[in-house]
Structure 1
Amino acid sequence: MTAAVVVFPGQGIQRRGMGARWFDRFPDLVARADEQVGYSLRRLCLDDPHNRLAWGLFAQPAAYVVNALAYRALRADVLEPNRIEPAAVLGHSLGEYNALEAAGVFDFATGLRLVLARADATCDLPGRMLAVVGLDRDEIAAALARQGLPDVTLANLNSAAQTVLSGPAPQIAQAQTVLRAAGARLVTRLRINGAYHSPLMAPAARPFAAELRRIRPRHPRVPVICNVTARPHRIETLGRRLTEHLTHPVLWQPSIEWLLDTLPGRVDFYEAGEDGVLTRLIQHIENDMRRRDNDTARVGATKEDT
């Protein structure tokens, strides 16, 4: 038995040329999105003449729309011809809105409306984000504590070897130096302005929660895994969870591990996007789980021998 899971990347995929293969393919959806945002998303994503993709106010709707185009292409080219019905969907950070749209919790326009409200509520808030590869989370916490950087917090738990941090820009700059000295293989500031998934996003919670109260979500056609809990969303708590999503870390690794442990048989992941960043993270998580299982089996065999 094989289960299919569709995953959606989040903010951070933005770059000049993004989505080039899909804009001409889905002109009606693009036209509807352009009318809703009030500018040409095609021009923004393909040319970005004013460097607006560096701003969350533009990067968030751009990522949402390109993800939606990518999902429609994936569905038409791969899922439907092969009669593949997803057993679950999930998105990384902003991609959660695409997962909810794909599962029918709300329509494309409602999802875009929420993303625009999220972008508006968060775009002026301070802070930066930092990707760290090669240190586990205990080692990161110890290094930050030694340096006295209490406001740098976990933002994305991507895999055992990759964590993203959020915090005030000066502390993020210090953390970059500290974590390199602690032995991290790679420490990189993300192309995102703002300390998403951290307490610094708290001022955005109230205005965004007000927008969430205006929607009428539907029950999902398939489970949508919540970034905040690493478990399926429940309609009765959707608004609360999406508000918490601003200030709580993305539990990506726990979400993938839960799916791999819960779904029967083999799990095939399909990424609605063009960079494959989530596919690579999932491969790392799967490899780590296999190593842990092998280590457990070896320990068990050793105990039996003794």
Structure 2
Amino acid sequence: MKAVMFPGQGSQYKGMGKDLFNQFREETILASEILGYDLEELCVKDPERQLGKTQFTQPALYTVNAFTHYANSSGSKPDFFIGHSLGEYNALLAAEAFSFETGLKLVQKRGALMAAASGGGMAAVLGLKVDAVQKLLAEGGYSDIDIANINTPTQIVIAGPQDSIDRIVQEFEERKIKIFPLFVSAPFHSRYMKPAATEFKEYLHNFNFSALQTPVIANVTAKPYPDGQIIELLAQQIESSVQWTDTIRTLMGKGVTEYEEIGSVILTKMVNEITENCTPLIHEEEIVIETAKPHVNGSVNGKVNGEASKKECLSTRLGSHEFRKDYGLKYAYVAGSMYRGIASPQLVVRLGKTGFMGFLGTGGMPLAEIEKNIIKIQEELTNGEPYGVNFLHNLNDPASEMKAIELLLLYGVTNIEASAYMQMMPALVYYRLKGLQKGSNGEVICKHNIIAKVSRPEVAEVFMRPAPEKIVRHLLEEELITAEHAALSKKVPMSYDICVEADSGGHTDRGIAMVLLPSIQRLRADIMTEYGYDKGIRVGLAGGIGTPQAATCAYIMGADFIVTGSVNQCTVEAGTSDAVKDLLQDINVQDTDYAPAGDMFEIGAKVQVLRRGVLFAARANKLYALYNQYNSLDEIPEKTLTQLEKTYFEKSISEIWNEVREYCRNVGAEAEITKAEQNPKNKMALVFRWYFGYTNRLAFEGNIENKANFQIHTGSALGAFNQWVKGTPMESWKKRHVDEIGVNIMVGAAKLLENTALMVNN
């Protein structure tokens, strides 16, 4: 697909258009009559040096852009027109929104209004992304400076009062930040242009505009012009920032690969930087859904009584409406937690700001770090955006769960993801019940939400039922809850949201989605009949979801929401090392394996891990085999122990044991030491479990010299995702962002469902 681009102010030069004025003599005369001066003389000779003045630049450049386009438009029609600032008028002209004469009158008025503005300036900041520039503005107290242009990922134009621009130019230069003042008379594309925008909007109402014959992407929104919005968007453009980077990303998302610039190369250079360093941007598309209405006899006619079809965003309607409403989501899509902060605060914040919900990965994270990360998230999400925190069952230290819950309650965390539970525990019940209160109509309001990740029906049932009476009585006796909490607990389940987890990265029971989901959906029906809750229990699906096809299958099976995991760990926001991401971005669906879980080593629980390029899975399984074969380290053949020390551990067994003892003392687990010294098999287990912590650290640190021992939890969904994005900018993890992955999956699923519906109707 192809887009034609028109440059804006700054691309003018003396002599421009000299070969075109004779070719378009009639239009040249008309232009001079409208403007009241000799346009050809201005452009070719500029005797009074007025070409650089805004009120002259804009009509001159508009005319030359138009003539250049007319002269070159004999080829195939492009798929899109775009223009940078003033160039957008040429894009609309090319799309037949108005005549050449009308467009010239518009830009003449626009140029005059913008030239009349004063009292401000602009500057270009190079080498920094827009987020970094905004942060510097905030830190420096430059609240009166706006972002005027986002030309490329590293070319940002700012605008504001002249004294503030002068001050920030000096400060940035002292800090070796590249910044260049622009020679303009006013702070264009900023809040200070509001009076000019208001007057221009009144002027625009004097004209009629036609429907666009070719889509035009608007500077203000980076989206195609909607019908009937030309007046509004052209007025806004004067006081709004030029979203050029996102304009090109939008075209990338629509499949544009060819860009032709009219009369300049300025925009082409910008496009090259954007396409090389940015991912496509996919906006919600309006998908036409025929609203069917049943006849009396039960047959269906899509156009009963001439009813018009409704345009709705299908991707934002997939799954449960109540789920989206309860959590404040745009999509019934959640990013699950990944241990030790792989699901980082940055990941959670980015999702929350774009209509998704992510869960902070707290597994293996000390309380102090959890607290620090919650604070980070809450500092960023200040407008009620959704987020959650993982609450991982601690098999070895259940008492620590209550400390973690107290922390979550202290910081007002209202959404948690409960994982690895086999039975209900006091901490979970305490959290759930502390959020219960009676509404004005007698209904039970649940302020604390639990999304329970389960892989077995019997565990799902525990969460679908009310809190166990024995635990409720205990909490009441301890005065941790009130009598009202206890009474209300009988009317609600422990969780209204059950996430069925099929085979996935990390801890897994290797369940099959098509077996588990229907079974737990049936269980839900039985539980709802038994208890008659006022509100329905939602059942979502996780495991293996890395493509639109997988998401489509989940929703067709009746999933109320979906949860992704592995696809998010190979993104810019994921809190793991670049070395790990480099390994993960190239894997295929067959490049994972199963190994013992370090935290549940003795009972043989499994985790799914990366196999390609590393040896962890083979070595971890070897350790588990040795553990089952021998009763102590002393029974293991000396040759085998030597191999373990040299190739697996890279230190002696005695050194490892000293480290284990020191760790246990530091965390108050001296009983583990005593137990191990009395039971040689327990000691062997602790030494072998040390290896799992060691291999985790190697991966998180990105210690590439010991890559063979990297322990990387991941699932085959990432392999499927890698194949799906092959040949696109997202092939590189450096161009993968969690929110963009979510949008692509959801919009892709909507398109698949729409196409399926069309096939059925045909």
Q: Same fold (TM over 0.5)?
A: yes
1:150-198 superposed Cα distances (whole Å, 9 cap, x missing partner)? 221111111111111111122112222222334434x222243221110
Question: What residue is the counterpart of 2:222 in the other structure?
Answer: 230
**What is the letter of the counterpart of residue 111 of structure 2?**
A
Instruction: Give secondary structure in 2 for the equivalent of 1:245.
Output: helix
**8 Å contact 1:144–1:178 — kept in the other structure?**
no
Task: Check if 1:276 corresponds to 2:269.
Answer: no
**8 Å contact 2:123–2:165 — kept in the other structure?**
yes
Deviation at 1:104, TM superposition (A): 0.1
Instruction: Give secondary structure in 2 for the equivalent of 1:39.
Output: coil
**8 Å contact 1:54–1:192 — kept in the other structure?**
no
Looking at structure 2, the residues matched to 259 and 276 of structure 1 have their Cα atoms a distance apart, in angstroms, of 18
After TM superposition, list the pairs within 5 Å mapping 1:176-215 onto structure 2.
176-185=169-178, 187-215=179-207
After TM superposition, list the pairs within 5 Å mapping 1:1-306 onto structure 2.
3-76=1-74, 80=75, 84-126=76-118, 127-185=120-178, 187-263=179-255, 267-273=257-263, 275-289=264-278, 298=582, 299-301=584-586, 304-305=610-611, 306=712
Looking at structure 1, the residues matched to 246 and 279 of structure 2 have their Cα atoms a distance apart, in angstroms, of 15
Instruction: Give secondary structure in 1 for the equivalent of 2:181.
Output: strand
1:111-130 superposed Cα distances (whole Å, 9 cap, x missing partner)? 11111111222211122221
Inter-CA distance 39–184: structure 2 relative to 1 (3 Å threshold):
same
Query: Which fold has the larger relative contact order, with Cα–Cα distance below 8 Å and residues 6 or more apart in sequence?
Result: 1
Instruction: Give secondary structure in 1 for the equivalent of 2:259.
Output: strand
1:93-144 superposed Cα distances (whole Å, 9 cap, x missing partner)? 0111100000000011111111111122221112222112111122222322
1:24-68 superposed Cα distances (whole Å, 9 cap, x missing partner)? 332222111111101111111122222212321111111111111
Looking at structure 2, the residues matched to 166 and 42 of structure 1 have their Cα atoms a distance apart, in angstroms, of 32
Deviation at 1:10, TM superposition (A): 0.7
Looking at structure 1, the residues matched to 219 and 228 of structure 2 have their Cα atoms a distance apart, in angstroms, of 16
Deviation at 1:234, TM superposition (A): 1.6
Instruction: Give secondary structure in 1 for the equivalent of 2:218.
Output: coil
Instruction: Give secondary structure in 2 for the equivalent of 1:254.
Output: helix
Looking at structure 1, the residues matched to 92 and 610 of structure 2 have their Cα atoms a distance apart, in angstroms, of 47
**What is the letter of the counterpart of residue 212 of structure 1?**
L
Looking at structure 1, the residues matched to 229 and 87 of structure 2 have their Cα atoms a distance apart, in angstroms, of 19
Instruction: Give secondary structure in 2 for the equivalent of 1:235.
Output: coil
Inter-CA distance 162–56: structure 2 relative to 1 (3 Å threshold):
same
**What is the letter of the counterpart of residue 262 of structure 2?**
A
Looking at structure 1, the residues matched to 86 and 61 of structure 2 have their Cα atoms a distance apart, in angstroms, of 8
* Aligned residues: CA RMSD: 2.0
Looking at structure 2, the residues matched to 128 and 237 of structure 1 have their Cα atoms a distance apart, in angstroms, of 29
**What is the letter of the counterpart of residue 221 of structure 2?**
T
**8 Å contact 1:230–1:254 — kept in the other structure?**
yes
**8 Å contact 2:21–2:40 — kept in the other structure?**
yes
Inter-CA distance 106–147: structure 2 relative to 1 (3 Å threshold):
same
Looking at structure 2, the residues matched to 143 and 15 of structure 1 have their Cα atoms a distance apart, in angstroms, of 34
**Residue-pair matches, total:** 291
Looking at structure 1, the residues matched to 67 and 141 of structure 2 have their Cα atoms a distance apart, in angstroms, of 44
Inter-CA distance 129–196: structure 2 relative to 1 (3 Å threshold):
same
Looking at structure 2, the residues matched to 19 and 180 of structure 1 have their Cα atoms a distance apart, in angstroms, of 38
- TM-score, normalised with respect to structure 2: 0.37
**8 Å contact 2:249–2:279 — kept in the other structure?**
no
Instruction: Give secondary structure in 1 for the equivalent of 2:217.
Output: coil
227-236 vs 191-200, which moves further: 191-200
| Unmatched 5+ stretches in structure 2 | 281-569, 572-580, 588-608, 612-711, 713-762
Deviation at 1:290, TM superposition (A): 6.9
Inter-CA distance 69–91: structure 2 relative to 1 (3 Å threshold):
same
**8 Å contact 2:8–2:83 — kept in the other structure?**
yes
Which entry has the higher C-alpha Rg, 1 or 2? 2
**8 Å contact 1:100–1:220 — kept in the other structure?**
yes
**8 Å contact 2:159–2:190 — kept in the other structure?**
yes
Instruction: Give secondary structure in 1 for the equivalent of 2:31.
Output: helix
Looking at structure 1, the residues matched to 207 and 101 of structure 2 have their Cα atoms a distance apart, in angstroms, of 11
Q: Percent identity?
A: 34
Inter-CA distance 304–94: structure 2 relative to 1 (3 Å threshold):
farther
Inter-CA distance 24–179: structure 2 relative to 1 (3 Å threshold):
farther
| Unmatched 5+ stretches in structure 1 | none
Looking at structure 1, the residues matched to 68 and 88 of structure 2 have their Cα atoms a distance apart, in angstroms, of 14
Looking at structure 2, the residues matched to 20 and 183 of structure 1 have their Cα atoms a distance apart, in angstroms, of 42
**What is the letter of the counterpart of residue 181 of structure 2?**
R
1:245-304 superposed Cα distances (whole Å, 9 cap, x missing partner)? 1111010000100111113xx52111111x30000000000110379xxx8584444774
Deviation at 1:203, TM superposition (A): 1.0
Instruction: Give secondary structure in 1 for the equivalent of 2:5.
Output: strand
**What is the letter of the counterpart of residue 168 of structure 2?**
A
Looking at structure 2, the residues matched to 209 and 85 of structure 1 have their Cα atoms a distance apart, in angstroms, of 31
**What is the letter of the counterpart of residue 257 of structure 2?**
V
Looking at structure 1, the residues matched to 181 and 69 of structure 2 have their Cα atoms a distance apart, in angstroms, of 28
Deviation at 1:241, TM superposition (A): 1.1
Looking at structure 1, the residues matched to 115 and 273 of structure 2 have their Cα atoms a distance apart, in angstroms, of 32
**8 Å contact 1:143–1:179 — kept in the other structure?**
no
Looking at structure 1, the residues matched to 91 and 159 of structure 2 have their Cα atoms a distance apart, in angstroms, of 24
Looking at structure 2, the residues matched to 114 and 260 of structure 1 have their Cα atoms a distance apart, in angstroms, of 30
**8 Å contact 1:155–1:165 — kept in the other structure?**
yes
Instruction: Give secondary structure in 2 for the equivalent of 1:90.
Output: strand
Deviation at 1:73, TM superposition (A): 2.2
**8 Å contact 1:159–1:284 — kept in the other structure?**
yes
**8 Å contact 2:148–2:190 — kept in the other structure?**
yes
Looking at structure 2, the residues matched to 247 and 224 of structure 1 have their Cα atoms a distance apart, in angstroms, of 19
Looking at structure 1, the residues matched to 12 and 128 of structure 2 have their Cα atoms a distance apart, in angstroms, of 26
Looking at structure 1, the residues matched to 204 and 279 of structure 2 have their Cα atoms a distance apart, in angstroms, of 40
- TM-score, normalised with respect to structure 1: 0.89
Looking at structure 1, the residues matched to 610 and 252 of structure 2 have their Cα atoms a distance apart, in angstroms, of 28
